[in-house]
Copies of this chain bind each other. A is one copy, B any other.
Amino acid sequence: MKIINKLKKIGEELTSLAHIIELLHWDQETKIPKNGAIERANQIAYLSELYHKKSTSDEIKKLFNEINFIDEDLIDNEKYSVVDRAFLKRFYREVNRERKLPTNLVVQLAKETSLAQAVWHEARVKKDFNIFAPSLKKIVDILKEKADKIGFKTHPYDALLDEYEPFMNSENVKNIFKPLQMGLTEILKKIRTSNSIDTQFLSQNFSVKKQDEFGRTVLKDMGYFNDSGRLDISAHPFTVTLGANDVRITTRYDEASLFSGLFSDIHEGGHALYELGFSKNIQGNILATATSLGIHESQSRMWENQIGRSYKFWEFYYPKLKKLFKNELKDVDLYDFYRAVNNVSSSLIRVEADEVTYNLHIILRFEIEMLLINGDIEVKDLPEIWNDKTEQYLGIIPVNDSEGVLQDVHWASGLIGYFPTYALGNIYAAQFYNKIKNEINDIEKEISKGKFNEILRWLRNNIHSFGSMYSAEELCKKVTGETLNSKYFLNYIDDKYKKIYKY
């Protein structure tokens, strides 16, 4: 067997193993009987160890040596196809990264973050950061060591960020976020001085069964399901890939909230369509994964916001929704409904934030994480800095730690360097969507008819099919002719909200 084929076979086995681990997770979150949980954790740990061992095996290293692969940018272009070159680059990069991490560090991080879940939960319930601080300190120390082991050029944050947004660095992020923050602050000021939106009608109960029926209709129209997906209930919504043609999403409905389940359905549907869209010639290959979490998020957010929160979308769907909730929505017309969907209000909680304020939540986390991982601030300083920045960016101050520094589970899970991908996703989404509007005639007319096949085809051809063949940056240039910048996002927000708020 040719060496590259040996490497590909190992890659396929790793992909298979990753999909199996995902099934164990999916079942754990959606179906498992309560008493099965402990043993399931052991099963996941067992396969995860197997995965780690396999992906850091000397065999892989030996095979790369045999083809004299020493640097990801120095591949003999004559010898390999485009796909094979991309495969070698990506695989080498990932394996190399994994191998830099000593097993005891991986185990330690897994252990501490596992223990930290309950501690974070208790701290949050008791609204007391001090309970969580010792756990978080341990995790931050391990992550600092992790960054050192992986190595970085200018800032340790880059080593962590790279795991979620490969090839991106913190300097880039800063340069993208700076004008974004300024632009959003401007817009937010104008919105604050405009008339507020009446959302009174949302304070009713909306049957969960009907929400589910409606959500499934939208997902089906988007092109999801199609014998390759399913929708289940879990505590927190997620998308999971169990195979090239088996990508599942979860949701949770709340009778008191008409929007949270629905927009979560659309959001996860967008993630799932990405995972289902990898081209056949990379299926099973390690390239059949999202090229970055930012790109992944761009897919979910575009469906959720640019499409799902647009007037045209509700032109088609509001009559259907009204039919389901006859009494609840009888006095609400389309325009009022649309405005309620897009109500802007500075809130303390990220996951409840609207399109305008959302990125400000991310920027403050990014800035704090940078300081923390570089040792410029300490864990104990976090609540104060958090509250200061929240006031600075959002104009409000958390009344307690649960509404502030304790609100997200990410740090307890060891996910520092992850938050920026949410905002990058929003910016990518706007930049891509601007291109789509230029390239697809009558796209808004299509949306107003509940037709999304043109959009999905465009996304498949231009983004989904490539998987990880191109880096996020390469892909962005290829698709939009420019590198990522916040201009399109700010234009999109300004255009939309100046109409809604008439500022």
**A binding-site residues for B, Cβ under 8 Å:** 13, 16-17, 19-20, 23-24, 27, 31-36, 38-40, 42-43, 46-47, 225-230, 242-246, 248
Contact = CB atoms under 8 A, between A and B. Distances in A.
B244 A33 contact: no
Contacts of A226: 35
B23 A27 contact: yes
A47 B20 contact: yes
B42 A16 contact: yes
23 contacts: A16-B42, A16-B43, A16-B46, A19-B39, A20-B24, A20-B43, A20-B47, A23-B23, A23-B27, A31-B31, A31-B230, A32-B246, A33-B225, A33-B245, A34-B227, A35-B226, A35-B245, A35-B246, A36-B228, A39-B243, A39-B244, A39-B246, A43-B243
A19 B230 CA distance: 23
Nearest to A276: B35
Nearest to A36: B246
B20 A227 contact: no
Given A16-B43, A33-B225, A35-B227, 18 more contacts: A20-B24, A23-B23, A23-B27, A33-B230, A33-B245, A34-B227, A35-B226, A35-B228, A35-B245, A35-B246, A36-B245, A36-B246, A38-B245, A39-B242, A39-B243, A39-B244, A39-B245, A40-B242
- A35, A40, A229: which has the most chain B beta carbons within 10 Å? A35
Contacts of A229: 33
Nearest to A20: B43
Which 3 residue pairs are nearest across A and B when measured between Cβ atoms?
A36-B246, A39-B243, A35-B245
A32 B32 CA distance: 15
A47 B246 CA distance: 18
- A13, A31, A225: which has the most chain B beta carbons within 10 Å? A31
